Each structure stands twice: as structure tokens, then as C-alpha cells.
Amino acid sequence: MKAITYFLIGFHFLCVSCGSPEAKNQTTVFSSDAVAMCHTGPIPSRFAALRQDAIVAGDAQDHTGMVLIPAGKFRMGSLNFEDAQPLHDVELHAFYMDEHEVTNAQFAAFVKATGYVTVAEQPLDPKDFPGVDPNMLVPGSAVFAAPDQVQGLTDHMQWWSYVAGANWQHPEGPASNIQRRASFPVTQIAYADAAAYAKWAGKRLPTEAEWEYAAKAGSHTDETYYWGNEKKEDGKWLANIFQGEFPIKNTKEDGFVGTAPVKSFPANAWGLYDMEGNVWEWCSDFYRPDTYAKESDRHNPTGPADSYDPQEPGAVKRVQRGGSFLCNDQYCERYKAGSRGKGEVNSPTNNVGFRCVKDIGK
Ligand SMILES: [Ca+2]
Ligand SMILES: [Ca+2]
């Protein structure tokens, strides 16, 4: 089981862990992981069997549950993260954005209407896993579980496991379900799953420029957090992140150990909820650490033509934004303003979801 575990979840967690003090020297910290766990061979064929072409695009004129984001210019990036530099001005068109992360109820409606089967539910082809017992090649995905103790924070396998039967309906594995979590963000979503939902809804995934512009909401300059410089306001947490000693003890000061129902925390100035924390959100851009340095068009940028992550050359990665309920200053600071996340496109986890946008007049 170890080989498949490594193959399937090795890619992603290098990114969700980055940005911590321990990970400031990311190459050093993670290079051994990358070599050992993240061989970048052919993508398993289960991931090619998705049926986006069969999905009928939804009503582009329906803006229910969306916020109109005005056209404008903003300063993109952060001096606190190497791959979010240089700071630069970006000009964007107006667009609509979902006011909250896509929920389990919304995703269930999509599945009911289309019969869509997510990446985590797809069977695995033994040809893609030579040397692995075919009986072990069962659908599943990666789940966080707090260990009793850890030996440092460099080996994320101490708290992430590949769990057979884990998927969007069973986010923590077969024994879990979403029956009482209709208003929680859907998780265990691979990039293609998010894109398929967006198409069905008559929407698309945001670019990371759109996402950051919307998160900064017209007022942010260089504060630490999207909401300002103070972590709490009147003693209250402003996002669902991780308090305590990561990963072994979550003190739940913000009220939630895992995901929270959407809109549990205050909206930003433009009425968007959970732009920080709760679940990571897929963006449509390929990830490269040098995106901002090489970007030439700063009007509605859509990102580079391909992805490249020096920690895992060959892995196809898209940008993720906003951090999750597992982010904290000990380990993952990438919920902070202007920071960038990244995820291997076929590695769903129980802390990654998405929200959609829609163009004006389409
Ligand atoms: Ca929390
Ligand atoms: Ca979020």
C-alpha cells in the first residue's frame, strides 16, 4: 500500500505545507520527499475517464449566490512569499464570484443531474502501478488525521494517509458522511472535478488574479491578512484555520476542528466569505514560482502556459488559494494575504475545495 500511497498523495502536500518557518528553505526541507514520493510518471488512467465533454453548460445568466466584483486595478503579490513577487499592478475586468465555497449540497445537485463520478471515486488501473498488488488499487483519496505525536514537521506522511473509500461523500473515509454537512464546503475535489462542476453551473474557475483581487476587496494594501494586520478582531477569529500545536493538538479556538459551514465567519468588504481558510480553492492558472516575474500581460492575466514546481518537476500543478482549516503559523502560512498555494491536479484531499466565477454578459 505504501507505493500507491506515496504516488497518489505525494504531490499535493508539499504545497499545503509550505510557507512555514520550518519550510522557509523549502528546497532543503522537501527535496528528499519529492524524490522519494513524487515520481512523475504517467498520470493514472482513472484520471482520463472524466466526462466533461458530456456535461451541458449551465445558465450563464443566473447569478444567484454570486457577488458582482467591479472592474479595477490592484497591487498583486506579497513580500512575505518568494513566489508571490514581484509586487505588480494588475488590471481586471468586472466579473461575478460565488459568495462562498461550493457546498456539499451544491455539488450533490451537480452529481444528481449529471451522474458525474469524481477522480477519487475512479478505479485505478494496475498498469499505472507496476509492482503494486492489484488488490490494493482501490479508489480513495488523502485524509488528514492528527497523530498522537510527530517527529518534526518535515514528513507530512505523519498526518496524511491515503484512505480507501474516501471521496466527496465520505471526506474522512467510508465511516464518514456528509448527511449533516449540506452547507459545508465540498472537499476531496480534484481540479477536473471542480472544472466540471463549474461548466455545469454555467461558470468557470477563477484565475488567481481574480481570486486575489476579490480577496483584497479594493481596500487591502500590504496588510498581513486579507482582513487587516490583526489576527483577531474583538477577540474573535476571522477565519477557520488551525489553533494549537500542529498537527497533534487542535484547540479549536475558532470553533471548528475541520471544515466549517460556509459563511460561519465574517465576509470581506465585497461580501465574499471564507476567502481565507476553511478549504483551499482551486484556481485555473498553472502554477510556477516565477509567474509574476515572467508575466508580460497584466490585464486579466490567465497564468503561464504550463506548470513547473522545482520541488516536483514534472507534476502538473494548478494554483490554489486561501489556505484551509489546517493552516497555522507553525506550518502553513499560506492563508495570508497575497500568498500562493499549489496542488497536483489529481490529488484530492479533505481540505481542498473551490468556488466559481462568471464573466459579465456571457
Ligand atoms: Ca479551525
Ligand atoms: Ca477558502
Per the structure, the complete domain to which residue 351 belongs is given by 4-359
Nearest to 149 by CA among 157, 158, 160, 141: 158
Angle between helices 104-114 and 191-200 (to 10 degrees): 70
Residues bordering ligand 2, an ion, CB closer than 5 Å: 274, 278, 322
pLDDT tens per residue across all 362 residues of the chain: 433 444 444 433 333 333 333 333 332 222 222 222 222 233 344 554 455 677 888 887 889 999 999 999 999 999 999 999 999 999 999 999 999 999 999 999 999 999 999 999 998 888 878 888 887 789 999 999 999 999 998 888 899 999 999 999 999 999 999 999 999 999 999 999 999 999 999 999 999 999 999 999 987 777 899 988 888 989 999 999 999 999 999 999 999 999 999 999 999 999 999 999 999 999 999 999 999 999 888 999 999 999 999 999 989 999 999 999 999 988 888 999 999 999 999 999 999 999 999 999 75
Please tell me the distance between residue 3's alpha carbon and the centre of ligand 2 in angstroms: 31
Q: How far is the CA of 214 from the centre of ligand 2 (A)?
A: 12
Q: How far is the CA of 328 from the centre of ligand 1 (A)?
A: 10
How far is the centre of ligand 2, averaged over its atoms, from the C-alpha of 263 (Å)? Answer: 10
CA of 279 to the centre of ligand 2 (A): 4
The CATH number of the domain holding residue 9 is: 3.90.1580.10
Ligand nearest to the CA of 351: 2
Cell of 26: 523549502
- Return the ligand number nearest the Cα of 281: 2
Ligand 2 center to 142 CA (angstroms): 18
> Exposed e or buried b for every residue in 138-163, given b needs 16+ CB within 10 A?
ebbbbbbebeeebeebebbbbbbbbb
The CA 149 to ligand 2 mean position distance, Å, reads 28
133 burial type by CB count under 10 A (0-12 exposed, 13-18 middle, 19+ buried): exposed
CA 109 from chain center: how many Å?
Answer: 21
Q: Give CA separation, 167 vs 29, 65, 347, in Å.
A: 30, 25, 11
Q: How far is the C-alpha of 41 from the C-alpha of 207, rounded, in Å?
A: 27
Closest ligand to residue 326's CA: 1
Q: 272: CA distance to ligand 2 center in Å?
A: 10
Q: How far is the CA of 263 from the centre of ligand 1 (A)?
A: 14
**Kind and range of the H or E run holding 7:** helix 2-16
291: three-class secondary structure by DSSP: helix
Tell me how far the alpha carbon of residue 276 lies from the centroid of ligand 2, in angstroms.
Answer: 5
Count up the domains in the chain and report the number: 1
For residues 178 and 247, what is the distance between their CA atoms, to the nearest angstrom?
A: 24
What is the number of the ligand closest to the CA of 211? 2
Ligand lying closest to the C-alpha of residue 184: 2
**In the structure grid, which three cell numbers stand for residue 319, read together?**
494554483
Residue 345: predicted pLDDT: 95
